[in-house]
Structure 1
């Protein structure tokens, strides 16, 4: 179940000014140690330490492959790949294109795949309005319209 809060857009320049939208609540960040503990608790013969080692190596290898220009697919999770964000406007010609002037940054991106793809996830997900967020009341704060 995914909890959500509502936020009202207060940006006067937005075409959705004064409209309300749902935003997911992220109550906890599960890092590699906790993920390894979680996986070890699922009837596996591997220890948390062994799983963490494998996951650590996986992360390192995915980074290496991405930096070689390859994409990496983990079935039922995501396809990881690199994207280039260009500066607004672009270069006038191919000859005047310059990476330092025309490329804003390079990002690692992920696209859901398999059972996590948007169409299949929509069928499985349950949404519930949050009443508390990690021990605090779930208040709705204004949004800027840029979320």
Structure 2
């Protein structure tokens, strides 16, 4: 069984519905303390110590060959599935054109990238339920103001029921809305009614209604990062998709986003995108 350390983070969040009296309350959430990032050399050394008949240099050679072959297969348009780990697959970002005859890959494909989906099969160790059952969570007190650990380590089970989501997987159960500040309206709005965060809310732009697809751009204040969702759940500083490039929507969806500076999230910006002839629905992402 693995062991993950959790630090307690205190944050002030805004509660209450838009248009009503809203108050700030102090809440405590859990966040992972990462032990570091293992590179190729460190992983090879670790594998070699697990009773392997192969030396560290042989393991490095095999991993390097695997990496190169995965890159080659992705470049040829294949999805690459590593059983028990997950699937790598190529993705593109495309600009839409009014005239289909005028579409070209040279002019209209603006980005080619790679995404990874953790294995979600029934017996996968990467499913949220399996990770929780197979991981021991250790609670470590942490002062967010000084960024230092404090005395009082102890054992923790579930560090925050319904609390802050954490981790890099897009398979998040969406249980972590850290405030009640999201706007339920259809047009873009920061949801800021008398309010709260010192970080300015991001701006969501894109055509709506649309026919086949639309591209959504999100911009925030200088120095900020942005998290967004298309599943109706409000993003937070620790929950949501990382915004890196324009989002392509092929179905009706509500895009919600926050700007984050030094771990502090803005109010939630919201914009509804509607596909002509549809009754609403989700976006292209899982969050």
Residues 22, 45 of structure 1: alpha-carbon distance in 2 compared, 3 angstrom cutoff? same
Equivalent pairs counted in the alignment come to 135
Is 1:143 the counterpart of 2:264? The answer is yes
Shift of 1:94: 2.2
| C-alpha contact 1:40 1:46 (8 A) present in aligned 2 | yes
| Structure 2 counterpart of 1:82 | 90
Residues in 2 aligned to 1:21 and 1:96: alpha-carbon distance in whole angstroms: 51
Residues in 2 aligned to 1:48 and 1:117: alpha-carbon distance in whole angstroms: 30
TM-score by length of 1: 0.70
| Structure 2 counterpart of 1:117 | 127
Residues in 1 aligned to 2:45 and 2:34: alpha-carbon distance in whole angstroms: 20
Deviations 1:99-140 (A, max 9, x none): 4554342221111113323443344344444446xxx6259x
Structure 2 residue ranges without an equivalent (≥5): 19-23, 151-261, 269-287
| C-alpha contact 1:83 1:106 (8 A) present in aligned 2 | yes
Higher percent of residues as strand: 2
| C-alpha contact 1:70 1:81 (8 A) present in aligned 2 | yes
Residues in 1 aligned to 2:92 and 2:10: alpha-carbon distance in whole angstroms: 31
- The 3-state SS of whatever aligns with 1:92 is coil
Moved more, 22-31 or 73-82: 22-31
Structure 1 residue ranges without an equivalent (≥5): none
Given the alignment, which residue of 51, 58, 61 partners 2:69? 61
Q: Is the radius of gyration larger for structure 1 or structure 2? A: 2
Residues 48, 94 of structure 1: alpha-carbon distance in 2 compared, 3 angstrom cutoff? same
Shift of 1:23: 4.3
Residues 97, 117 of structure 1: alpha-carbon distance in 2 compared, 3 angstrom cutoff? farther
RMSD of aligned C-alpha atoms?
A: 3.4
TM-score by length of 2: 0.39
Higher relative contact order (CA 8 A, sep 6+): 1
Is 1:91 the counterpart of 2:97? The answer is yes
- The 3-state SS of whatever aligns with 2:265 is coil
Shift of 1:83: 1.3
Moved more, 58-67 or 18-27: 18-27
Given the alignment, which residue of 3, 6, 12 partners 2:5? 3
| Structure 2 counterpart of 1:108 | 114
